[in-house]
Amino acid sequence: MRQRSLASILQGKDLQLGYLKNGKRREVLSHLDFELFTGEMTCLLGPNGVGKSTLVKAIMAQLQPWQGSLNLDGQAISSYSQESLARKMAVVLTEPVFPGNMTVGELVALGRTPYTGWSGRLSLEDQKEVEKAIALTNIVYLKSERLSEISDGQRQKAMIARAIAQNGDLIILDEPTAHLDLVNRFEIMDLLREIALEENKGVLVVTHDLEIAIETADRFWLLTCGNPLLSGSPEDLILSGEINQLLPSKKIQFSPKRGRLEIQDFPEEILISGNEELVYWVRKGLKKAGIQAVPKEIRVQADPFRIIADENTFQSVEELISSLKLS
Ligand SMILES: Nc1ncnc2c1ncn2[C@@H]1O[C@H](COP(=O)(O)OP(=O)(O)OP(=O)(O)O)[C@@H](O)[C@H]1O
């Protein structure tokens, strides 16, 4: 079993961030405290507009904090030169910004720019780092493919390989799974966690994928309007109920039992008996169909699947709903 070796790589203390608009200050985040560790994947979650990308901009040294301190590896981020910052930290943003005729191999090699200087010529060591990044992300077969001729998921892996080739201690990704299908979203997040663990890097992922993040992240940072940043393992935040800070509507809540979001107004008054799993899905079907009451008890049987209601037997949830709607 692999052991995580955690070391604090990024620290924010009493941070205040915002923008100047028409000469006026517009504060976005204040009194922000956090610590990011190598050897684990941290997911930053929060509603639209709360300031996640603003925080990423500050970490990338593109936005100067109005107050507080922001340190990378014990040194103020603002004191790094662009080149030395690029050797410490790699960033993957959502939108593809590289020309479509560039090959995957060329893109990953760009990760070595902080080391190659203006010539861009790769040393043997640079080449080794590029190969290693390509192998780690399982895209060896894509090396000669053009960016315009591969899928979104493959391109995202190539972008991650470029960040790995940069070989800093910290990788930051702003919504790396946007536009990807479910399987690719899982795969990318799983890959990022592997990299954090195997390569002992700090990985910070901004994401809206709560359920995938629960499956893959070691730590959550929850950012909600007007509250301090909440940091903890997903499991602890679920058990304490603090995860619901992300869900301002009482109607949609996180179900600790099911490990996912659920609409809370299930018609519990409908009596359904049988295997818990089967009952759950029958109840869900009735809820979605807007059926609030049925005359008598409903029984659900497994092997073969049957729903018995009012002496009638149904072979599917759909059949039951059609019959209830007609009665
Ligand atoms: N360049 C800018 N100038 C002024 N205000 C900005 C600027 N960029 C962002 N903002 C404002 O800062 C606030 C936070 O924006 P930010 O993009 O950080 O949110 P976010 O949490 O990343 O949102 P999302 O989940 O939608 O990506 C928003 O109200 C936004 O309008």
Q: Are 285 and 317 in contact (CB under 8 A)?
A: yes
Probe residue for ligand 1, chosen from 24, 52, 173, 174 as the CB with the greatest number of ligand atoms within 8 Å: 52
What integer pLDDT is reported at residue 314 of this predicted model? Answer: 93
- Residue among 261, 313, 308, 311 at smallest CA distance from 284: 261
- 223 closest CA partner among 35, 52, 18, 10: 52
pLDDT in tens, 214-228: 999 999 999 998 889
Going by alpha carbons, the residue nearest to atom 26 of ligand 1 is 48
- Is the CB of residue 65 below 6 angstroms from any atom belonging to ligand 1? no
Cβ–ligand 1 contact at 21 (below 6 Å): yes
Amino acid at 248: P
Who contacts 226 (Cβ-Cβ below 8 Å, separation ≥6)? none
User: Which residue puts its alpha carbon closest to atom 5 of ligand 1?
Assistant: 19
Whole-number Å distance between alpha carbons of 232 and 238: 10
Identify which has the larger pLDDT, 114 or 150. Answer: 150
The dihedrals phi and psi of 273, each to the nearest 5 degrees, come to: -115, 160
Interface ipTM > 0.90: yes
Position 270 pLDDT exceeds 90: no
- Residue whose CA is at the smallest distance from ligand 1 atom 1: 19
CA angle 138, 139, 142 (to 5 degrees): 160
Cβ(54) – ligand 1 distance below 6 Å: yes
pLDDT reading at 144 higher than 90: yes
d(CA 113, CA 104): 15
19, 30, 66, 204: residue to mutate for ligand 1 pocket, most atoms within 8 A of CB = 19
* Residue 76's pLDDT band (cuts 50, 70, 90): very high
User: pLDDT tens digits, residue range 160-192?
Assistant: 999 999 988 999 999 988 878 888 889 889 999
CB atoms under 10 Å from CB of 42, counted, come to 23
pLDDT score of 295: 61
Confidence of residue 268 (pLDDT cuts 50, 70, 90): low
CATH 3.40.50.300 location in the chain: 7-246
Ligand 1 atom 17: residue of nearest CA:
53
* CATH superfamily membership of 7-246: P-loop containing nucleotide triphosphate hydrolases (3.40.50.300)
Closest to 28 measured CA to CA, from 43, 44, 48 = 48
pLDDT at 237: 93
